[in-house]
Amino acid sequence: MSVIGVVGAGVMGIGVAQNLAQAGHEVLLVDREERILEQARTAIARNCRLSRMMGGPALDPDTVLARITTAVGLGPLAKADIVIENVTEDWETKRAVHAELDQVCGPETVFVANTSAIPITRLASVGSRPERVVGVHFMNPVPAKPVVELIPGVHTSPETVARTRELLSSMEKRWVDVKDASGFISNRVLMLTVNEAAFLVHEGVATAEAVDEVFRGCFGHPMGPLETADLIGVDTILYSVEVLHEHYADSKYRPCPLLKQMTDAGLHGRKTGRGFYTYASPASPAASTASTASVSTDTK
């Protein structure tokens, strides 16, 4: 049976590993510390127990976790047929990981970059086999989102695309084909929306609750943009907007100072217990009504 490697045991890596295991794949989840991997296994077990309550299938945590092996470092990925990279949306971090993967993995390994903004061709240029690099932008929470963006780079081979589509089909994902451009479809639009919503709070125009209520009540969105920021991670939002700003050199992508301040303060959203809203505990699905509107906004 083929082994699917998953790099990064953060929010996205946890979701990808769980989704793969649910689909019956043998998964090798790696990160830089055993502590992070233990937290990931705990989170996956919790997610499985809550799956039915959140509208998903009934899942047995033991069955799902039995298909997931964890390891520290990238070395064990030498045996993986496909590797899905989910590290933070920072060029230098991703560049280093892809350079090491190119050295560690076998010649037939397909590298899937789960990125929300960094161009796939740029990531593929790091290694010696750009034809085996493809982008898949998974949405959060991964097991619950049926659609992904599939992004070939300039040199991605048809065989790599075909193998990736086969894997996505096994995960019960539909894909939207997107040409390689920073931000693709979703984040060219979403990051602008979240960034501008943060500016509304930063400038004192409205509270986070008011901004999100307009999107839920008037536009019928299940979540407002700042609730979405907390779910994705405020730090991830900031890094994505910074990538867009750098790539397009367009002032419309200028990051909101409040996003920078919150990231520096560790107010990253659900994963840290506080972002635009305060949560009962890190990664808790229940939010209180308290927002971070009280965070200093005089840093224009």
Say if residue 33 carries a ligand binding annotation: no
Asked if residue 92 is part of any domain, the answer here is yes
Q: Flag whether 173 is marked binding.
A: no
Q: Measured over all CA atoms, what is the biggest interatomic distance in the chain, rounded to whole angstroms? A: 56
Q: Which of 177, 198, 215 is the last residue of a domain?
A: 177
94 marked among binding-site residues:
yes
- What is the H or E stretch that residue 112 is in? strand 110-113
Using CA atoms, how far residue 250 sits from 59, 90, 92, 241, in Å, is: 45, 19, 22, 11
Residue 299 in any domain: the answer is no
Concatenated DSSP letters of 206-244:
S-HHHHHHHHHHTT--SS-HHHHHHHH-HHHHHHHHHHH
Q: What residues have CB less than 8 Å from 45, skipping those under 6 apart?
A: 61, 64, 65
Determine whether the annotation assigns residue 284 to a binding site.
no
The yes-or-no verdict on residue 130 having pLDDT over 80 is yes
**157 annotated as a binding-site residue:** no
Q: Are residues 156 and 208 in the same domain?
A: no
User: Binding residue per annotation — 55?
Assistant: no
Domain identity same for 77 and 154: yes
Cβ(162)–Cβ(132) under 8 Å? Answer: no
DSSP, collapsed to helix, strand or coil, labels residue 150 as strand
* Tens-place pLDDT, residues 215-248: 999 999 999 999 999 999 999 999 999 999 999 9
Which token pair is 270?
């659900």
Verify that 144 and 221 share a domain, yes or no.
no
CB 261 within 8 A of CB 235: no
Domain boundary among 177, 205, 237: 177
196 is a domain residue: yes
Indicate if 224 and 167 belong to the same structural domain: no
Q: Are residues 22 and 171 in the same domain?
A: yes
Both 60 and 131 in one domain: the answer is: yes
**Residues facing 84 on adjacent strands:** 6, 112
pLDDT category at 286 given cuts 50, 70, 90 is: very low
CA atoms of 288 and 71, how far apart (whole Å): 36
* DSSP 8-state class, residue 193: H
**Which of 149, 177, 205 is where one domain is finished?**
177
Q: Are residues 84 and 231 in the same domain?
A: no
- Count of domains for the chain: 2
**Domain assignment of residue 253, given as a range:** 188-289
According to the model, what pLDDT value does residue 1 have?
59
Residue 22 belongs to a domain? yes
**Which 3 state secondary structure label does DSSP give 28?**
strand
pLDDT tier at 280 (50, 70, 90 boundaries)? confident
Residues 23 and 114 in one domain: yes
Higher pLDDT, 240 or 286: 240
Is 137 within a domain?
yes
Tell me, yes or no, whether 73 lies in a domain: yes
What's the pLDDT at 146? 97
The catalytically annotated residue of 137, 202, 245, 268 is: 137
Dist. CA 26–CA 37, nearest whole Å: 16
- Are 87 and 235 part of one and the same domain? no
Do 251 and 283 belong to one domain? yes
Asked if residue 144 and residue 15 are part of one domain, the reply reads: yes
127, part of any domain: yes
pLDDT over 80 (residue 287): no
Q: Please work out, in degrees rounded to the nearest 5, the angle formed at the alpha carbon of residue 149 by the alpha carbons of 147 and 152.
A: 145
pLDDT band at 2 (very low <50, low <70, confident <90, very high): confident
Average pLDDT of 263-270? 97
My answer on whether 116 and 26 are in the same domain is yes
Catalytic annotation present for 268: no
Look at residue 193 in the predicted model and tell me its pLDDT.
98
Q: Is residue 69 part of a domain?
A: yes
Residue 253: give its domain's CATH number: 1.10.1040.10
Residue 27's closest CA among 63, 58, 68, 62?
Answer: 68
Phi, psi of 269 (to 5 degrees): 105, -145
Tell me: is residue 300 an annotated ligand-binding position: no
pTM for this structure? 0.87
User: Residue 142 belongs to a domain with what CATH number?
Assistant: 3.40.50.720
Task: Output the average pLDDT for the chain.
Answer: 93
Beta 147-152 vs 174-177: how paired, if at all? Answer: parallel
